[in-house]
Amino acid sequence: MISIRVPRALRTDRPVYINQDPFSGTYRRNGEGDYRCTSDEIEAMLRDAAIQTHDMQVCSGLSLDALDAETIARCRACGNSAEDADDPAFLRRTGAAACAEDGQLRPTAAGILLFGRMETIRSHFPEYRLAYTGASAGKRRFDNNILEFYFSVCREIDALPAAADPDVKRGIGEAFANCLINADYYAPGGISVVSAPAHISF
């Protein structure tokens, strides 16, 4: 018996493809076999392969005024930001802002997603979409940044019967946060959260 172990390619090495064209020679294995990756999947791999990922890029044409002060204050109130003397220090420590080539502190793409106003988010991420569907409220679109969406949906999750168990509530919250953090906001489709009394899906 011969066993061949193929290690998972590093983020910076993807996509791995055959022949000369990644858009026609990139395949991915699922539970049933190999299938050719779509152009959206390949473009996402190419973006992620950069040493400096897209969410780290500095938006050189924007000032910190592009970020919503109320969202920043709400976020700082939820965590331990006492070590930060002011909002700029907090934004820089969390990667939401960085020094641009002109020496000025400016938002990063991650900062725009987390704290930005909708007009700024849409100008950088045209495919940005957030929606929540609840058993009683129906489907609602959220025209807001990621953190405001997170806070709003967490309030809905708290009302679910399953959230009465602290461990379940914490697990759902962590899974939801991971969904938002790891999503590709350049790709079409957006984020859709669907909750019911017995389950929740992202």
As a whole number, mean pLDDT of residues 4-30 equals 80
State pLDDT tens for residues 129-174.
998 887 666 677 888 999 999 998 888 878 777 777 888 888 888 8
pTM: 0.70
pLDDT band for 84, please (50, 70, 90 cuts): low
pLDDT band for 51, please (50, 70, 90 cuts): low
Distances in Å between the Cα of 87 and the Cα atoms of 18, 26, 91, 94, 166 are 48, 44, 6, 11, 32
In this predicted structure, which of 17-26, 71-80, 131-140 has the lowest mean pLDDT?
131-140
- Count Cβ atoms within 10 A of the Cβ of residue 132 and give its class: 0-12 exposed, 13-18 middle, 19 or more buried: buried
What pLDDT does 83 receive? Answer: 62
pLDDT more than 70, % of the chain: 91
Of residues 84 and 148, the one with the higher pLDDT is 148
Cα torsion 85, 69, 124, 150 to 10°: value is: 100
